């Protein structure tokens, strides 16, 4: 039997969807919530720090901070083929945080991107089959996207 846990981090991040039919084609930002969902077996090894857990929530927080928060917080995420946005952003000072990505930065695509950033850093030394099962990205209080790896 497996258990699951979730841990999240929030960022203030800008983006645009250049070919969108309405206002999302304009520069704007969101208070994103990046939520990692992990599955595995509870650690049974007696006396270890993670006994009774899948993984320490603090360890998950550290991974999310380093690989999501510190990359996109107070940054503008831009599609590599959005020449108009790249031109505008290149005129800003050198300390402006621009993150160029090979996809249109929709919530759906950002959820997959976040999964790819976080997944390699989720591991356990206790054989409890720990894995990142999904990334959930909240773009607004009413709008979420999730990405799960394909089933094997």
State yes or no: is 24 an active-site residue: yes
Q: Which residues, listed in sequence order, are joined to residue 145 by a DSSP beta bridge? A: 137
> What's the CA gap between 4 and 122, in Å, rounded?
13
Q: Which of 30, 67, 69, 136 is catalytic?
A: 69
For residue 54, which of 108, 124, 103 has the smallest C-alpha distance? 124
Q: With contact defined as beta carbons under 8 Å apart, do 79 and 18 qualify? A: yes
State yes or no: is 139 an active-site residue: yes
Q: Report residue 85: phi and psi, to 5°.
A: -65, -40
State yes or no: is 148 an active-site residue: no
Q: Which of 24, 39, 121, 148 is catalytic?
A: 24
For residue 13, which of 128, 81, 97 has the smallest C-alpha distance? 97
Catalytic residue numbers? 24, 69, 139
């Amino acid at each position: 039997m497996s258990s699951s846990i979730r841990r999240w981090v929030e960022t203030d991040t800008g983006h645009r969807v250049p070919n969108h039919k309405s206002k999302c084609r304009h520069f704007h930002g969101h208070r994103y919530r990046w939520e990692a969902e992990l599955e595995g077996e509870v650690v049974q090894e007696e006396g270890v720090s993670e006994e009774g857990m899948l993984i320490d929530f603090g360890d998950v927080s550290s991974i999310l901070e380093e690989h999501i928060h510190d990359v996109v917080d107070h940054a503008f995420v831009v599609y590599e083929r959005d020449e108009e946005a790249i031109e505008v952003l290149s005129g800003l000072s050198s300390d402006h945080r621009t993150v160029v990505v090979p996809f249109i930065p929709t919530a759906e695509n950002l959820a997959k991107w976040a999964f790819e950033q976080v997944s390699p850093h989720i591991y356990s030394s206790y054989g409890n089959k720990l894995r990142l099962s999904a990334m959930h990205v909240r773009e607004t209080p009413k709008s979420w996207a999730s990405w799960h790896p394909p089933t094997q």
